[in-house]
Amino acid sequence: MSLVNSEAGLIKLEYDIVQNDFSRAGEASSNLKKVLKQLGVPHQIIRRVAIAAYEAEINIVIHSNGGKITAKISPEYIVLIAKDNGPGIKDIKLAMTEGYSTASNKVREMGFGAGMGLPNIKRCADVFDIQSKKDSTQVTIKISFNLE
């Protein structure tokens, strides 16, 4: 699951996310939460990271052909990069609207895909960026720990 290596003063954690695998969604978020607790990051900030990571996981599970979440942690901040393998988002502005969703009925019946994923991630982030091409979407966010 998590491939850990430390590079250039950052702790890097990687989580593979499998398309349609709802049962495992949440593992990345849960693991990140533990890591940040060990570092002593304030609880409310950990909660924001956990929500952002979870929504990113669910997005990849529902909408893409699978992907990966990478966390890069420094003593000051965390950067999350959620990258999937297509099909890309046609209209990013629309996708960022609360309540807008392209999730299938089946997925909605399971209680997911209410069209809150991306807006929720943005709300949790200090810095938010989204790039989408035909074969891949990448959401990058940064959350500062505000320790000093």
Partner 1 sequence: MNKYFHSVILDSEKCTGCTNCMQKCPTEALRVKDKKAIILNERCIDCGNCIIACPYHAQKAVAENLDALKNYKYKIAIPATTLYGQFMSEVNVDTILQSVKDLGFDYVYDEVIGSDLARILIKNYIKIHGNNTKPLISSHCPSITRLIQSKFPTLMNNIVKIESPMEIAARLVKLKIKEKYGYELSEIGVFYITPCPAKITSIKNPIGIKKSYVDGAISINEIYGDIYKNIKKNRGKETENFMSGSTQGIEWALAGGQSKSLNLTNYIVVDGVENACKIFEKIELGKLNHIDYVEALACTGGCVGGALNVENPFVAENNFRNLLKENKDGITINEKYAIDLCKAGFVCWTEELIPKEIDELSSDIRIAFKKMEKINKLVKELPGLDCGSCGSPTCQAFAEDVVNGLSSIEFCVFSKNNDTQGYDNK
Nearer to partner 1, 118 or 132 (CB): 118
CA-CA distance, 94 to 85, in Å (whole number)?
20
Q: Where are the alpha helices (DSSP H) in 19-71?
A: 27-39, 43-63
Nearer to partner 1, 81 or 124 (CB): 124
> Smallest distance, Å, CB 86 to partner 1?
26
> Smallest distance, Å, CB 117 to partner 1?
12
CA-CA distance, 80 to 143, in Å (whole number)?
8
Nearer to partner 1, 15 or 54 (CB): 54
Binding stretches for partner 1 (CB under 8 A): 4-6, 11, 26, 29-30, 33-35, 37-41, 43-44, 46-47, 50-51, 54, 73-75, 145, 147
What is the 3 state secondary structure string of 62-82? HHCCCEEEEEEECCCEEEEEE
